Structure 1
Amino acid sequence: MYKRRALASTLAAAAALAAVALPSPAIAHAPTARPCPRLSTDLPWYGENRALLQRVIDERGVCAGTGRGGRPVAAFDWDNTVTKNDVTDATLGWALRHDKILRPKSWRDAGQWLTETADRALTRACGTSVPVGSPLPTSANTRCADEIWELRENGRTMSGAAGFAGDWNHRRTVPQYAWVPQLFAGRTVRELTGYAERARTEALAAPVGATRTVGTHEISGYVRYYDQQRDLIRTLRRAGFDVFIVSAGSEPVTEVWSRGVGVDADHTLAIRSVLDRRGRITPRNEGCGGVPAGRGDAIPYIDGKRCWINQEIFGVRGAAAWQRQPWQRRIALGAGDADTDVTFVGDATGAHLVLNRNKAELMCRAYDDADGRWIVNPMFLAPLPRKPGGYPCATTAYNEPRGGGGPLLRGDGSTVPDQADTVY
């Protein structure tokens, strides 16, 4: 355990106060005490989105003088929501190109769902001549780097065989996401932080559109902060919001990047590795909502993001952390770009900000707009074209806990109809 937890109890107390002070979300706001900070008019947003976000800031910020007894909370996904491109991928790619992955005694010690086929593929590609606990020469050993990257990126071996198999809750974890922090087993948090810092410097310096080669894979070689999201986060904080990052990436890596938007480590939630007595990363991750520490059973992924927000921000313990909380104990604003974000973004009481990356479950919720508070924006850099045919909300958009897709339902049990892609 390497994060401070005092913040959760403080916010939980504030939420309890707010619950007493505000029995119903329908209570009118008090007159504004002072002008709320404004979003920059120099940065383009789609349609009326800037005005819609400003309205939430004006209505819910402490600048509004509502006297609710607690600061409102905003939560942002990180990869492709605050930045263009994935910062955990940037770090893993850098580590593979600089021989920073240590050889495990057994590849299956880390990934509990790693198949025997994947274990054999990794063992053959990476070899056994390097002593256990020593760096693998992935910069020169193309086959080893390829197997690791293909498993991370696509969940399969280079031969196309399934890399992960078994039973897991598909709304609480995805094996290849949990596997990345486990790849750094044996390293310290400080070492991993250093790798992330170097990868960040490299990715920010690379021109937009740059690529790099990992093994034989050509991957994106640049990352950019979205200016609009930086401005939104800055404005929210000036308006008195507590702003958090909640990511399905590695926590030390995400912390390196979140500092760039003024969000500190205590406000950054991601996959949190269990450390050994010497402070080294182990293959185990901390759990949530009554799920004990393990090898990736409950990471911040789909419903897992709700759990980590409820547990770490609002102090909800045990199985209740998996459930939607009362209005007063939920975030005011949530922002995301993928299905992994759909649950926590949907929990927001003021606005649900979505960057359109053509992810079915999230876009079905956004376009259905059941509460009139969903805000859809194209990606700020290299937006995707319109999704042909729209989204199959009524049949397969919902990510089932056992895997596969099913119909997406509203809170009242009705089915969300298929949606056209209109904001791109």
Structure 2
Amino acid sequence: MRHLLAWTLVAAAAPAAAPPSSAATVPPANCPRLTTPWYGDNRARIQRTIDERGRCGAPAGTPVAVFDWDNTVTKNDVTDATLDWALEHDKLLRPARWKDTSAWLTDDADRALTEACGDAVPVGAPLPTSTTVRCTDEILAIREQGRTMRGAAAFAGSWNHRRTVPQYAWVPQLFAGRTVAELSSYARSARAEALAAPVGSTRVLGTHTLPAYVRYYAQQRDLIGTLQRAGFDVHIVSAGSEPVTEVWSRGVGVDAAHTLAIRSVLDGRGRITTRNEGCGDVPASRGEAIPYIDGKRCWINQEIYGVRGAAAWRRQDPAHRPALAAGDADTDVTFVGDATGVHLVVNRNKDELMRRAYDDADGRWLVNPMFIEPLPRRPDPYPCSTRAYTAPDGSRGPVLREDGSVVADQKDRVH
């Protein structure tokens, strides 16, 4: 989720092209209109879907739009920003055993965390991460790379790689013992700092250099507001912590009821535990099913469309799928592909998502460079024909179309 800042700030997107002429009826002048610049003709194509599916068209029901959050609506990761703030302010509580924080944490990771963070404070007391460089380093290394500072695997075992990733699930688990209100307050403090920090700025925690800033993308804020005015039901679905994402989503007019992310199970005193709520036919667990790849589809089907049980993992009929869906990473590929009107992709050079986007099988995929600090063109093609797809067992293979044909390797064309 997090990426290093290695590029200079570049002007965001080229002005949008005018909508193509057609025999279609021109929407009334008072229909909600996008106002910010987009790459190429993306704005015109998004606007056409808004006009056709929204209140100015003839919708059969309420159209739905769903956005990933981190690096789709904002530049940089808000759950990471909150974890960074918590580490700077000693807000993580010492667990009785580090292995209790994740079902997949290895003995090597347990030993590294125990040695680095020590036992000077009682179990359940705040860890002094602001002054204990080794402890902060181990937590960040495991969060970012899934490895200890010495390079040992931090997670091992069996999990469905299209339903969860242990290091994503681990962040909410690190806040075990805190209340939702406390975590929300940390997110608000982190948000204030991140919005005040200059674009491109970094900070050092432990020995890690990390992004110090977060920004709402003006184009996505405008798009969400325009969709809402046009009668769309707009939701956020994120693989971050739900209390954190809710703090940020309010800034674009999306309330908590429309914000889906990792929901921690609370104990009898209302405190966060290392378990999270389940989806479909997967019950509450220690991270087996989170809003990640196919998990995002499951949460959308369950929470927005009311689909229950195993069916929530399956693609629904067009009337029970979003009209517009937006994402930036492979974790978004399933739900973005489910959209019936626009599959909007912010290009962060992620193999499976960009393969789907550039193949553009249904002619509805739109690729936009990141609006702040866009990446340069990827020099080598995306390995679509060999290893861009992640299977449930974690193996890599070719990306297939619905008819079973293999997609050819794709060049990076929008940057």
TM-score (norm 1): 0.91
Asked if 1:181 is matched to 2:176, the reply is: no
Q: 1:36 aligns with which of 31, 42, 48?
A: 31
Q: 1:49 aligns with which of 33, 38, 42?
A: 42
Q: Does the 8 A contact of 1:394 with 1:408 survive in 2?
A: yes
| Correspondence for 1:400 | 391
| 1:402, distance to aligned residue in structure 2 (A) | 0.6
Asked if 1:61 is matched to 2:36, the reply is: no
Q: C-alpha root-mean-square deviation of aligned residues, in Å? A: 1.2
**1:364-403 superposed matches below 5 A:** 364-403=355-394
C-alpha separation between the residues in 1 aligned to 2:33 and 2:25?
19
C-alpha separation between the residues in 1 aligned to 2:341 and 2:259?
21
| Correspondence for 2:7 | none
**1:7-406 superposed matches below 5 A:** 35-40=30-35, 43-64=36-57, 66-68=58-60, 70-406=61-397
Residue 400 of structure 1 aligns to which amino acid in structure 2? A
Secondary structure in 2 matching 1:297: coil
| 1:62, distance to aligned residue in structure 2 (A) | 2.1
Residue 385 of structure 2 aligns to which amino acid in structure 1? A
Residue 197 of structure 1 aligns to which amino acid in structure 2? R
Deviation per residue, 1:348-393 (Å, 9 max, x gap): 0000000000001000000000000000000000000111121010
C-alpha separation between the residues in 2 aligned to 1:297 and 1:34?
49
Percent of aligned pairs with the same amino acid: 74
Deviation per residue, 1:239-282 (Å, 9 max, x gap): 00000000000000000000000000000000000001111000
C-alpha separation between the residues in 2 aligned to 1:242 and 1:258?
14
C-alpha separation between the residues in 2 aligned to 1:313 and 1:30?
31
Deviation per residue, 1:103-150 (Å, 9 max, x gap): 001111111100000000000000112100000000000000100011
C-alpha separation between the residues in 1 aligned to 2:205 and 2:330?
27
Question: In the comparison of the two structures, how many residue pairs are matched?
Answer: 392
Q: Does the 8 A contact of 1:251 with 1:270 survive in 2?
A: yes
Secondary structure in 2 matching 1:355: strand
| 1:35, distance to aligned residue in structure 2 (A) | 4.1
| 1:30, distance to aligned residue in structure 2 (A) | 9.8
Gaps of 5+ in 2: 1-23
C-alpha separation between the residues in 2 aligned to 1:384 and 1:268?
28
C-alpha separation between the residues in 1 aligned to 2:317 and 2:59?
19
Secondary structure in 1 matching 2:210: strand
C-alpha separation between the residues in 2 aligned to 1:30 and 1:74?
23
C-alpha separation between the residues in 2 aligned to 1:404 and 1:355?
25
Deviation per residue, 1:303-323 (Å, 9 max, x gap): 000000000000000000000
C-alpha separation between the residues in 1 aligned to 2:148 and 2:27?
58
| 1:67, distance to aligned residue in structure 2 (A) | 4.6
Q: Does the 8 A contact of 1:391 with 1:418 survive in 2?
A: yes
**CA 1:32 to 1:165, structure 2 compared with 1: closer, same or farther past 3 Å?**
same
C-alpha separation between the residues in 1 aligned to 2:407 and 2:55?
35
Secondary structure in 1 matching 2:47: helix
Q: Does the 8 A contact of 1:34 with 1:63 survive in 2?
A: no
**CA 1:374 to 1:230, structure 2 compared with 1: closer, same or farther past 3 Å?**
same
C-alpha separation between the residues in 1 aligned to 2:137 and 2:411?
37
Secondary structure in 1 matching 2:56: helix
| 1:232, distance to aligned residue in structure 2 (A) | 0.2
Deviation per residue, 1:197-248 (Å, 9 max, x gap): 0000000000011111111111000000000000000000000000000000
